Structure 1
Amino acid sequence: MAAGRRVAVVGGGWAGLAAAVEATRRGHHVTLFEMAPQLGGRARAVDFGDALLDNGQHILIGAYSQTLSLMRFVGVDLDRALLRTPLKVTYPDGAGLQLQPGSPLITFAAAVMRYPGWGWREKQAMLMASTGWALRGFRCDASLTVSQLTARLPAKVRDELLDPLCIAALNTPAPQASASVFLRVLKDALFSGPGSADLLLPRQRLSELWPTPAARWLKASGATVHLSTRVERIANTQGRWQLDGESFDAVVLSCTANEAARLTAPIAPEWSAQAAQLRYEPIVTVYAQQPAPRRLPQPMMALRSDNARPAQFAFDLGALGGPDGVVALVVSGAAEWVARGMGAVEQAALQQAEAAFGGPHWKPLRTTTEKRATFLCTPGLRRPAQHIAAGLLAAGDYVEGPYPATLEGATRSGLAAGMVV
């Protein structure tokens, strides 16, 4: 398309900012509308008055090539902003998978063979299963869940490795999660080249990783950013898009799926209905203060979870540029715990941390809930297409694509929209 078009981007999360940056880079005149008072969507910093914390913990991996490239483009120093380590899913008792630098195929096999607490049966089963998935191109029947895909593997393999990886990547419990999407994540993360599986843990608040530098670049490049501005209505008049009376050549809807469904209901009812039917899974983050400030064995630790222990991961914020002694306990796939009430999940997470890392008397600081953290990534899920109508596109981690609701999925969707407006 010709450069110099007037482009509206509705929504300033990671997808919207990616779309705005890409469209501006291609010479278009971009106006971004964000209904919240700050940018970043579901991955941003929140000022709680006594502390600046994130609204939830997000990690990146080495395979997030487009996100990392865009961050670098707007001036983020990745070495300072991110702590890069080989993939480690390690429990407080020392068990877990720990990859070393090098070829993913070799390091994964070596990590399985070194796995503490696994016997030959578990190690052989994991290696044979992963080899089989690789030989089949990491494809499977689209109707399978992760639990069905892994049903024949030993319980330790499922409980200690595959189910935690599933909940971390898809935020969907293994009995409900799409096996085909899970395999795609494994393929790109573990088997797509050296460094692809590396953990990239934020050493800055999430707003400083992308939203703030992206906004700074947009404003310096001539784009317009409106905060606290909700778009009420979209209409098409003589081939141009009207947003509350303002005229544009093209529009990228990078707001939430529900908000996009509201805006498109009069003009694209089928697309709107598909966006509105998505179901969601919450994530709860319990920020807690240790009784005596000290470092966890690793900045990110896996935790064994069950009906009494809600959290799957713990992040040592003191080791990641945050306040000393503060740990973020993350409860993914948290629908059942949310139903019990925030008091119940907070108390159970604190007791879990005390048992895992030593206590007692861990102090709760803040508990945040992202009720619509990610769409429920189930088998055969039909996600809304990026193209809605001529000159009207959607961008977001929920839009049709191969990835679950991740930062990379959102960024790639935004980039794709910014390329074609």
Structure 2
Amino acid sequence: MTTARRLAVIGAGWAGLAAAVEATSRGAQVTLFEMAHAAGGRARSTGGAAMRQGQTPRDNGQHILIGAYTETLALMRRVGADPAQLLWRGPLALTTPDGHGLQLPAGPPVPAFMRGVLAARGWRLRDRLALLRVATGWLLRGFRCDAHATVADLCGSLPPSVQRDLIDPLCVAALNTPMAQASGTVFLRVMRDALFAGRGSADLLLPRAPLSDLLPTPALAWLAAHGAALRLGHRVQMLAPRAGGWQVDGEAFDAVVLACPAGEAARLSAEVAPAWSASAAAMRHEPIVTAWLHDPALRLPRPMLALAAEAEQPAQFVFDLGALGLAAGEFAFVVSGAAPWVERGLPATGTAVLRQARQAFPGAFNGADDLVLTALAAERRATFACTPNLQRPSATIAPGLMAAADHVQGPYPATLEGAVRAGLWAARQLC
């Protein structure tokens, strides 16, 4: 670029931060707007009271990264955040408290998957062979399926134990949508890039620091150091075209990136792109509930364990935050695809998680008061509902106006990697 291009990025979640950093790197003069007083969007640290008391700030929910998140990891490094220090890394393990389930060994992806399946505990030999046969079929078909297929359709021939211990946890972890409603096409893309793309792509990467330390805080510092204007606590009210560009609350820009949630993007684009606005507004969302429990004596064999989620047992995963160096004796129980539990109310969900924890770890507690529910949070619009044939809004809204968020058209579900890639792509198109 021979002259600096004025670019407005509306939204400082992971997509907006990626767009702002990329555009600044390309010489654009960036102004970053964010309605909240902190960056990070749906993957942030709440801070506040915890920091005032000298404690580790609590995140707004538990997040998982994987080794295939290449663009996210590269962006962290670019703004000075070291993934090796900030993330615990280990081979994919979806094992329950009794040790049943799949654990992948190190090595090339296809042989590692085969070895992991054959060594899985809790499955009969014919169950393991059935999984290998189905996965081989996915591989031979290039991880493609009918656009109408659900994950339940893809995996209906698998034994119930494999569906319960592997497919269902993978589906809700990646798509936050129950198997019966989740897109088979997106699920296979995730399986391809995570389990079969390359050495280490399936590795679990779990935060060992507050989420804001992974990207939001260092990205804001990087942007400020490189001349970007940061407008935190500013909710944009008006977006309008002007000759050769756009106006954002009366301020002139050459181009704009809408990196805000679908509903907010729909509001801002309603006058300038009604059809795009309607498609963004029509998106359905799935909630995630996180319950934090405390017990000073409990230790998990791994930082993350899968749980048997059933009718009265809502959580699919539990994380040992003490093992990750965050908060000793603190455990995050995660309920994905949580719409039925949100309807029942957070108090009922918390009670059910407490009961589930006692059943999952029998004998771990000396008395009825040893395990305490310390916090409960619902991210009611955590992800879009990733269903078959979903028509996601295009990244291009109008000339000089792009959308960048995990809900825009793309191959991935609502993940941090999807958000980062959308932000990078929008900035590269406009700069």
Residue in 1 that maps onto 2:86: 81
Matched, 1:401 2:410: yes
TM-score (norm 1): 0.98
SS in 1 for 2:49: coil
Shift of residue 47 of structure 1?
A: 2.5
SS in 2 for 1:168: helix
Distance 1:2 1:215 in 2: 25
Residue in 2 that maps onto 1:320: 324
2:228 is aligned, of 223, 248, 256, to: 223
Distance 2:58 2:324 in 1: 12
Q: State how 1:230-249 maps to structure 2 within 5 Å.
A: 230-249=235-254
1:268 is aligned, of 257, 273, 288, to: 273
Q: State how 1:146-225 maps to structure 2 within 5 Å.
A: 146-225=151-230
Matched, 1:411 2:415: no
TM-score (norm 2): 0.96
1:333 is aligned, of 321, 334, 337, to: 337
Between stretches 358-367 and 139-148, larger displacement belongs to: 358-367
SS in 2 for 1:45: coil
Distance 1:279 1:75 in 2: 36
Residue in 2 that maps onto 1:19: 19
Question: 1:294–1:324: 8 Å Cα contact kept in structure 2?
Answer: no
SS in 2 for 1:282: strand
Between stretches 153-162 and 293-302, larger displacement belongs to: 293-302
What is the letter of the counterpart of residue 39 of structure 1?
A
SS in 2 for 1:372: strand
SS in 2 for 1:156: helix
Shift of residue 235 of structure 1?
A: 0.4
Shift of residue 294 of structure 1?
A: 3.5
Residue in 1 that maps onto 2:305: 301
Q: State how 1:60-99 maps to structure 2 within 5 Å.
A: 60-99=65-104
Question: 1:170–1:404: 8 Å Cα contact kept in structure 2?
Answer: yes
What is the letter of the counterpart of residue 40 of structure 1?
G
Residue in 1 that maps onto 2:116: 111
Residue in 2 that maps onto 1:383: 392
Distance 1:239 1:352 in 2: 59
What is the letter of the counterpart of residue 88 of structure 2?
L
Matched, 1:372 2:381: yes
Deviations 1:205-233 (A, max 9, x none): 00000000100100000001111001001
Distance 1:47 1:18 in 2: 22
Shift of residue 237 of structure 1?
A: 1.4
Shift of residue 8 of structure 1?
A: 0.2
SS in 1 for 2:46: strand
Shift of residue 121 of structure 1?
A: 1.4
SS in 2 for 1:117: coil
Question: 1:177–1:377: 8 Å Cα contact kept in structure 2?
Answer: yes
Distance 2:125 2:323 in 1: 35
Moved over 3 A (4+): none
Shift of residue 295 of structure 1?
A: 2.1
Residue in 1 that maps onto 2:34: 34
Distance 1:7 1:239 in 2: 12
Distance 1:174 1:337 in 2: 17
Deviations 1:367-417 (A, max 9, x none): 011000000000000000000001000000000000000000000000001
What is the letter of the counterpart of residue 116 of structure 2?
A
Distance 1:104 1:419 in 2: 32
Shift in CA distance, 48/334, structure 1 to aligned 2, threshold 3 Å:
farther
Shift in CA distance, 2/166, structure 1 to aligned 2, threshold 3 Å:
farther
Distance 1:117 1:293 in 2: 27
Question: 1:3–1:26: 8 Å Cα contact kept in structure 2?
Answer: no
Shift in CA distance, 153/262, structure 1 to aligned 2, threshold 3 Å:
same
Distance 1:203 1:40 in 2: 17
Distance 1:307 1:267 in 2: 46
Residue in 2 that maps onto 1:310: 314
Shift of residue 3 of structure 1?
A: 4.8
SS in 1 for 2:322: helix
What is the letter of the counterpart of residue 331 of structure 2?
V
Residue identity (%): 57
Distance 1:178 1:240 in 2: 38
Distance 1:83 1:323 in 2: 15
Matched, 1:288 2:288: no
Residue in 2 that maps onto 1:420: 429
Shift of residue 49 of structure 1?
A: 1.9
What is the letter of the counterpart of residue 384 of structure 2?
F
Unaligned runs of 5+ in 1: none
Shift of residue 2 of structure 1?
A: 5.6
Distance 1:48 1:13 in 2: 19
Distance 2:89 2:174 in 1: 18
Count of residues in correspondence between the two structures: 420
